[in-house]
Chains A and B, each alone.
Chain A
Amino acid sequence: MYGLEAINANNGWAISVVGVSIVFSGLVMLSLVISQLHKVLALWEDPSKIKALFKAKQSEDQSDKLQEKEIVDQAVFTESQKEVVRQFGLLIRTMEDHFSLPRLLHLAQISDLKNPHSNLNNLLETKIIIPDGSGFFTWEKETFDKAIL
């Protein structure tokens, strides 16, 4: 038996594909492992680097907070926006300390406040209104004072 017939009869195509795949898998796995080996060893040799990694993460979080603070500090409202923000503040006074955002929006709409959606968004971005973690929001008086007064 010769030619393609012989290859098919002896399962040649499958053997070749399986063979090439196994050789590639083996060497790819090995190259992946050894490409990370020096990094793992570096951590093994100096465990303080692991702590440093976590510290770096913590400091990243802190810098995020600082950035947020800066956003608030840098927040600049136009006079008309300030007026709307004050009106939002008045509305919130009529509500519970932990209030619902849809309820606030509804009140703003029926009170005919200017651009209630975008202004409410501004309040959220500048952290004058912040989530309390349970689905409600609170009014940050300090932030409001800094931004508006």
Chain B
Amino acid sequence: MDALFIEFYHNTGFYLWDYRYLIMIVVGLVFIYLGIAKDYEPLLLVPIGFGILMGNIPVFQGLGLSIYEDNSVLHYLYFGVTQGIYPPLIFLGIGAMTDFSTLLARPILMLLGAAAQTGIFITFLGALALGFAPNEASSIGIIGGADGPTAIFLTAKLAPHLIGPIAVAAYSYMALVPVIQPPIMRLLTSRKERLIRMEEPREVTKREKIIFPIVAFLLCCFLAPAALPLLGMLCFGNLLKEAVVTERLAQTARNALIDTATILLGITVGASTQGDIFLVPSSVGIFALGALSFSIATASGVLFAKVMNLFLKTKINPLLGAAGVSAVPDSARVVQMVGQKEDPTNFLLMHAMAPNVSGVIGSAIAAGVLWSLMA
């Protein structure tokens, strides 16, 4: 009987524990705290946080419990991440939720979404300089797109062994948008610039909204075919929404489908951060470069808006440039928040959604470009 107890004890987490698991459990708890108490991207941080807890329960090998064991349930669910299945499903839902009206009303703001993607390529160079292989550097750079699904999708294709740290870094920085972006925005703009009011956008017709996803899809995918899975689903989702006659499908895409995909993606990405695999020096480098990427992306957008103002008759508020990173709609909300601190009657949210959604398109194109160049 003693032998049975001892055998059982040897199979428990208390016997198998390692300090690295403990560190990751603390990280998981912080994620859950930030999601619930601070309301930072709760739909992402709570599943990822709990996934981190699930992935860091010390288990013995062979029973099919760890996400890295071929016969485990988590491994099967993780298949959707490693094969890049969940991100396009999430993009379908995002498309079915997104209203492109402000973008259609002021297409010039789309350039801010392009400018913010500069951060991806500058970080790509930084990662190469730190000794990462080109495929790994591409996956790290895409964190600057501030788009979790895109980062996971590209990493699954180019550097599957880095999915854990890259996904956690991408979602962490997306959740920390309200903390990371405002200081950069204030540093790069004067008070006078932050006070600029935007013109009322023109009214957009239903027909324009229906045609836009088709035109955007054809144009962008002919230019960067590798962006097809993400942009195709994004535009298809948007067409379902705007077509009206497919409202039932749009409802499913923006509710049940995206929620299911987010839950599965969050849990499995979290569970993939197993302490002994996750806590390695390269993860620290990825986190540092991810922060750099995100900051450069924000700064690029703001600075590009200032450059545009040199040529535009009607000036745009350069804070909008920060919304070029595709953390929808958080970075647009941050623009609104920073703008209203200077002038509580200045409403920038609606205008910031234009670069914000173009950032989604821009980061998907950037991912497609990197994939096709590295594949």
Taking Cβ atoms with an 8 Å cutoff, the residues of A that contact B are 1-4, 6-7, 10, 12-13, 15-16, 18-20, 22-35, 37-38, 41, 45
Q: A10-B128, A27-B114, A30-B216 are in contact. Are A38 and B358 (CB under 8 A)?
A: no
| B103: Cβ under 8 A from any A Cβ | yes
> Looking at A1, A16, A23, A45, which has the most chain B CB atoms within 10 Å of its CB?
A23
The answer to whether A18 touches B373 (Cβ under 8 A) is yes
The answer to whether B362 touches A27 (Cβ under 8 A) is yes
The answer to whether B215 touches A27 (Cβ under 8 A) is no
Q: A29-B219, A31-B110 are in contact. Are A23 and B124 (CB under 8 A)?
A: no
> How long is the Cα–Cα vector from A20 to B304 in the complex, in angstroms?
13
Q: State which of A7, A27, A37 has its C-beta within 8 Å of the C-beta of B365.
A: A27
Q: A7-B128, A31-B107, A31-B111 are in contact. Are A26 and B121 (CB under 8 A)?
A: no
- A3 partner residues in chain B, CB cutoff 8 A: 129
| B117: Cβ under 8 A from any A Cβ | yes
Q: Of the listed stretches B147-155, B203-211, B247-255, name the one at the interface; the rest are far from the partner chain.
A: B203-211
- A25 partner residues in chain B, CB cutoff 8 A: 223
Taking Cβ atoms with an 8 Å cutoff, the residues of B that contact A are 103-104, 107-108, 110-111, 113-114, 117-118, 120-122, 124-125, 128-131, 133-134, 137, 202, 204-205, 207-208, 211-212, 215-216, 219-220, 223-224, 358, 361-362, 365-366, 369-370, 373
- A19 partner residues in chain B, CB cutoff 8 A: 120-121, 124, 366, 369-370, 373
> What residue in chain A is nearest B227 (Cβ atoms)?
A26
- B215 partner residues in chain A, CB cutoff 8 A: 30, 33-34, 37
Tell me how many residue pairs across A and B have CB atoms closer than 8 Å: 116
The answer to whether B216 touches A15 (Cβ under 8 A) is no
7 contacts between A and B (CB under 8 A): A7-B128, A18-B373, A26-B114, A27-B361, A28-B114, A30-B215, A33-B219
- A12 partner residues in chain B, CB cutoff 8 A: 124-125, 128, 134, 137
The answer to whether A30 touches B369 (Cβ under 8 A) is no
Q: Is the interface of B mostly helix, strand, loop or mixed?
A: helix
Q: State which of B114, B131, B208, B370 has its C-beta within 8 Å of the C-beta of A2.
A: B131
The answer to whether A30 touches B110 (Cβ under 8 A) is yes
Sorted nearest first, the 9 A-B pairs with minimum C-beta distance are A31-B107, A16-B121, A27-B114, A31-B110, A35-B107, A12-B128, A34-B107, A10-B134, A26-B223
